[in-house]
């Protein structure tokens, strides 16, 4: 069995950070905030966050904040709830939540809740259970869940539950592992997991494991390393992680490494990227791979960071 090329992955992430002007970075420009969260969280799970200039990252994050309180994907970009969660998570990683005007961020998020309890992603109004999860996760980290209608938020998520036990992006939307993570996470963060039929959903989720050991996101689809996160975190939150073959999944993730130049791809021999490197390492952390920090399946932050937020340790 191969091993995790931890050192190579650290080098890969640090090199992506330095290559700001190349093609990939131009394509990723608008996603810089998410990319920074993926890269920095991976470094933390690998125990190497001290390789980063904290003040530089924190001041860049704060420059991405809009007067509305939301954050953009980069300096001067429009705010969106997707980037706002990444910004808050990055500040949490560095124990710098104190630089935030918490009421301002809270008002931005609370202003995106709709009458039916759902959340829009930004001022343009697209509704998706991703945005419900993000709002609840962000407000929970900021300890401001009381500033929205959490009961309505939960009811909306329950209205997106399907007969197969899974969840979609809106009521009637097809079950997809990514949306399931968002809905299970949102219910976990609000103490509402009793709305889930754990055996039914656990069965759907464990059927995502294919012959190679990898997981797909829906029936008949190809496996992809990122589902190691979306599916596994959901299985853990509903106490059914023992229903998949952990050894085979570890092997699949390790097979997707570029052992020469670092980084992890979606499938063996594909090109690596920061997104799949994060989900590969985070998946291995959920699988208790040796040498990695533990990650919290609901907050998508290292467990020690979550403990520091809520218990001050």
Binding residues for ligand GRG, per CB under 6 A? Answer: 82, 130, 133-134, 178-179, 181-182, 217-218, 221, 224, 226, 230, 300
Please tell me whether residue 224 binds Zn ion under the rule CB under 5 A.
Answer: yes
**With DSSP H G I counted as helix, E B as strand and the rest as coil, what are the percentages for the chain, rounded to 5?**
55, 5, 40
* Residues comprising the chain, all counted: 313
Residue 217 interacts with, from ligand GRG, Zn ion, none (CB under 5-8 Å by kind): ligand GRG
User: Quick one: 109 or 134, whose CB is closer to ligand GRG?
Assistant: 134
Among 64, 142, 182, 226, binds Zn ion (CB under 5 A): 226
Q: Which of 285, 274, 238 is nearest to 10 (CA)?
A: 274
Please tell me whether residue 266 binds Zn ion under the rule CB under 5 A.
Answer: yes
> Do residues 147 and 136 lie in contact, with contact meaning Cβ atoms separated by under 8 Å?
no
CB of 146 to Zn ion, least distance (A): 35
Please tell me whether residue 272 binds Zn ion under the rule CB under 5 A.
Answer: no
Q: Which residue has the tokens 């969660």?
A: 85
Rounded Cα–Cα distance for residues 282 and 287 (Å)? 9
Q: Classify residue 305 as exposed, middle or buried by CB count within 10 Å of its CB (0-12, 13-18, 19+).
A: buried
CB of 181 to ligand GRG, least distance (A): 6
Residue 266 interacts with, from ligand GRG, Zn ion, none (CB under 5-8 Å by kind): Zn ion
Q: What sign for the dihedral angle of Cα 81, 84, 89, 92?
A: negative
Residue 138 interacts with, from ligand GRG, Zn ion, none (CB under 5-8 Å by kind): none
The site for Zn ion, by CB under 5 A, has a size of 3
Number of other residues whose CB lies within 10 A of the CB of residue 247: 11
CB of 218 to ligand GRG, least distance (A): 5
CB of 147 to ligand GRG, least distance (A): 20
Q: Which residues bind Zn ion (CB under 5 A)?
A: 224, 226, 266
């Amino acid at each position: 069995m191969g091993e995790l090329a931890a050192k190579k992955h650290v080098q890969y992430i640090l090199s992506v950070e330095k290559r700001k002007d190349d093609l990939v970075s131009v394509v990723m420009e608008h996603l810089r905030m998410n990319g920074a969260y993926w890269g920095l969280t991976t470094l933390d799970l690998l125990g190497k966050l001290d390789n980063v200039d904290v003040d530089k990252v924190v001041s860049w994050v704060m420059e991405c904040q809009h007067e509305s309180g939301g954050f953009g994907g980069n300096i001067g970009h429009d705010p969106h709830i997707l980037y706002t969660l990444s910004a808050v998570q990055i500040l949490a990683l560095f124990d710098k939540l104190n630089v935030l005007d918490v009421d301002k961020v809270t008002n931005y998020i609370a202003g995106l809740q709709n009458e039916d309890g759902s959340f829009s992603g930004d001022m343009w109004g697209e509704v998706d259970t991703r945005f419900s999860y993000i709002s609840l996760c962000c407000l929970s980290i900021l300890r401001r869940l009381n500033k929205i209608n959490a009961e309505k938020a939960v009811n909306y998520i329950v209205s997106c539950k399907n007969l197969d036990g899974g969840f979609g992006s809106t009521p009637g939307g097809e079950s997809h592992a990514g949306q399931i993570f968002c809905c299970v996470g949102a219910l976990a963060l609000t103490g509402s997991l009793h709305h889930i039929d754990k055996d039914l959903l656990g069965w759907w989720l464990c059927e995502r494991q294919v012959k190679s050991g990898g997981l797909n996101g829906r029936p008949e689809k190809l496996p992809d390393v990122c589902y190691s996160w979306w599916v596994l975190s959901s299985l853990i939150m509903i106490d059914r992680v023992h229903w998949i073959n952990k050894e085979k999944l570890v092997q699949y993730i390790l097979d997707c490494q570029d052992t020469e130049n670092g980084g992890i791809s979606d499938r063996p021999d594909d090109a690596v990227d920061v997104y799949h490197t994060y989900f590969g390492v985070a998946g291995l952390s959920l699988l208790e791979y040796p040498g990695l920090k533990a990650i919290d399946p609901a907050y998508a932050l290292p467990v020690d960071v979550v403990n520091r937020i809520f218990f001050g340790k």
